[in-house]
Amino acid sequence: MKSFTYSIDENDKKLLQSLFTNKTATTEIRHTLDGFSKLMAYYKCAMMEIETKFNVLNEEFSLQYDRNPISSVKTRLKRLDSIVQKLLRNDNELSIDSVEENLNDVAGVRVICSFTHDVYTLADALLSQDDITLIKAKDYIKEPKPNRYRSLHLIVSVPIFLLHEKRRMKVEIQLRTIAMDSWAALEHQLKYKKDTEFTDEMAKDLYLCSQLSAELDSRMDSLREKVNI
């Protein structure tokens, strides 16, 4: 059985000690560490709830249409150093409450689909569930980012049921096709690879790849429509 606890490593502890409290009293530090571990465990539970919902939708879809719309579901919890960087970048307070209030993407679920049509079918099916609240949607498929990044982003809140309380937690969901995912992974690698310069030629090639990937998705969707699957 999977553990529900979020364990913080030594680096996280040091970072928390220096950033989340300016007091050195041991009880204060322990309180902060416990609070952060608890919050991350809640995010993990929310992430698992969403992952399960997509797995259920995938099963049900395959019963009805004899194919799986989901190629894979990936989950990730934002690392503490990324959490701190994002709070600082946005001029938000460094506190545990501030994480919950200001960040939407501590818990992330990425759903990779076979067809663009499936992205919207799954998003609609999830959003029609009565325990899911849509907080924000960004459709980078209909309106790609200037670098041609495509994906459908949903920020939702989902309830998690604890021993004595029910809490709503935010989860960022990214839905995309296999082609969109391959492109995003390549773009991320090229951009963040520190030992290689990101040249104009690479940017042009990447742009061409984005066009090809969009065309591939569109043709695949047309074929899917023809065979009505």
Can you give the binding site for ligand 0O2, defined by CB under 6 A?
104-105, 108, 138, 145, 147, 149, 153, 184, 187-188
Pick from 40, 56, 52, 50: which is nearest to 3 by CA?
40
Write the DSSP symbol of residue 215: H
What count of other Cβ atoms lies within 10 Å of the Cβ of residue 127? 14
Least separation in angstroms between residue 30's CB and ligand 0O2 is: 29
Please say which residue, 49 or 187, places its beta carbon nearer to ligand 0O2.
187
Measure the CA–CA gap between 99 and 87, rounded to whole angstroms. 8
What count of other Cβ atoms lies within 10 Å of the Cβ of residue 119? 25
Please say which residue, 17 or 95, places its beta carbon nearer to ligand 0O2.
95
Least separation in angstroms between residue 98's CB and ligand 0O2 is: 13
Q: Check: CB of residue 51 under 8 Å from CB of residue 75.
A: yes
Please say which residue, 30 or 188, places its beta carbon nearer to ligand 0O2.
188
Least separation in angstroms between residue 54's CB and ligand 0O2 is: 17
Least separation in angstroms between residue 188's CB and ligand 0O2 is: 4
The tokens for 9 are 């490593």
Please say which residue, 188 or 193, places its beta carbon nearer to ligand 0O2.
188
